[in-house]
Amino acid sequence: MMKCLCALAALSLAAGPALAEGKCTSAPKSKWQPRSALESQLQADGFSIRQIKVEGGCYEVYATDKAGKRANMAFNAETLEKLDNAEAGEN
Amino acid sequence: MATIRVWDPFVRAFHWSLALSFAVAWLSGEGPERLHELAGYAAGALVIARVAWGFVGTGYARFSQFVRSPAAVVGYLKSVAAGSERRFVGHNPAGGAMIVALLTSLAATAATGWMLTTDAFWGSILLQRAHSVLAHGVLLLALAHLCGVALASLRHRENLVRAMVIGDKRAPEPGDVA
Domain ranges of chain B: 3-170
Q: What is the pLDDT of residues B85-139, one digit of tens each?
A: 999 999 999 999 999 999 999 999 999 999 999 999 999 999 999 999 999 999 9
Are B122 and A70 an interchain contact pair (Cβ–Cβ within 8 Å)? yes
List the A70-76 sheet strands across, edge first. A48-55, A58-64, A70-76
User: Residue by residue, what is the 3-state secondary structure of A44-85?
Assistant: HCCCEEEEEEEECCEEEEEEECCCCCEEEEEEECCCCCECCC
Chain B residues near residue A63 by CB distance under 8 angstroms: 123
- Whole-angstrom distance, CA of residue B148 vs CA of residue A82: 48
Contact B122 A91 (CB under 8 A): no
Question: Class assignment of domain B3-170?
Answer: mainly alpha
pTM: 0.85
CA distance B8 to chain A (A): 40
The answer to whether B15 and B172 are in contact (CB under 8 A) is: no
Nearest to A87 by CA among A35, A23, A37: A23
Domain boundaries in chain A? Answer: 22-89
ipTM: 0.71
Which residue out of A47, A51, A61 would a mutagenesis test of the B interface target, given it has the greatest number of B Cβ atoms within 10 Å? A51
Cβ separation of B30 and A63 shorter than 8 Å? no
